[in-house]
Amino acid sequence: MILRLIFRQLHPDFINVRTRIHLKNLGTTDKNLLTKSSTKRFRECMKNNRFMNVLLKAKEENIAVGAVNIFNYLTAEAAVKAAEEIGVNLIIQTSAGTVEHFGAQKLYDIVDAARKGAKIEVALHLDHCRNKELGKLCADTGWDSIMMDFSHLPFEENIANTREMAEYAHSRNVAIEGEIGVISGVEEDIVSDEAVGADFEETMEFVERSQIDAVAPAIGTAHGIYHGVPKINFELVEKLGKEKTPVVIHGGSGLSAETFTRLIELGGRKVNISTLVKNAYLDKTKELVLSGEKFAPIPFDTEVENAVKEEVKKHLEVFSGKRTSF
């Protein structure tokens, strides 16, 4: 008994681990009870989770939080400075590939250094991950939330895999985002040639059964650069926006300020931007190199950082209702 008490102190999720092993021989009903229990515990203290806190505040203020994909310290610092200058909260996102490149702990430290001392709240989020072990590693390392993307799988498999990861995340006070439908375009090594739109009933079933904390439905947006005007399902966003679970808008790079504003007014609470960050970084770098001027490394980096900051800043201003056009 004494050893068991000591073990529980060292391993707060001990009960979940024991029960999970035991559940291999039990039915679905008991497994559902376990998941609801871990989810209930998480949601009772969700304001202690940065990701959920910034989304809940955004919902109260009827604005959206910008979720900015970064890939090094320079872009992380640029995003934080942009948010601080206009006084809005921020979500810094890291792709699975960026985590694999730096290593989870090193990347966490990079982001933590960038947000240290910030006068705003900055959450750290894992974007589009299909690797369960990588998702668990980020949850264990300190990410505030993880986005597990099993949308390429059949509906029931999407639910089952997402729910498994929700149970793991919630037991560690980590939030989880899931995707329903297929968002077209390229997101790192995830390529989707054709979009598969989500519908309201299916999305609500997915949310309820998977126990996710934020939902990214396929509404007609796309990852990467748009070729033509996207056909967005505003009606779906409006319906979902009236529900409790925050709605996430993927494929934000390239949308007009008017489109962003409408999506946010209808209930979009998190807007992802990635391609425009990369383009601002690379375009400014190319411009400086081709200029023929000789730059010392620090002034060079400062120029690039400012370019990224300004691009992020104008989008955050739209998301927070401080700006109506780009």
**Residues with a known catalytic role:** 127
d(CA 51, CA 136): 17
Region of 228 on the Ramachandran plot (φ > 0 left; ψ -120 to 50 alpha; else beta): left
d(CA 171, CA 164): 11
Instruction: Name, in order, each residue with C-beta under 8 angstroms of 46's C-beta and a sequence gap of 6 or more.
Output: 52, 53, 56, 175, 213
* 100 SS3 class: helix
Q: What residue has token string 């383009």? A: 279
> How many other CB atoms sit within 10 Å of the CB of residue 292?
6
Q: What are the φ/ψ torsions at residue 222 (nearest 5 degrees)? A: -145, 155
By CB atoms closer than 10 A (0-12, 13-18, 19+), residue 309 is: buried
d(CA 74, CA 306): 10
Token digits for 230?
């996207």
What is the gyration radius of the CA atoms in the chain, in angstroms? 20
Contact 253, 276 (CB under 8 A): yes
Q: What are the φ/ψ torsions at residue 252 (nearest 5 degrees)? A: -75, -25
Instruction: Name, in order, each residue with C-beta under 8 angstroms of 160's C-beta and a sequence gap of 6 or more.
Output: none
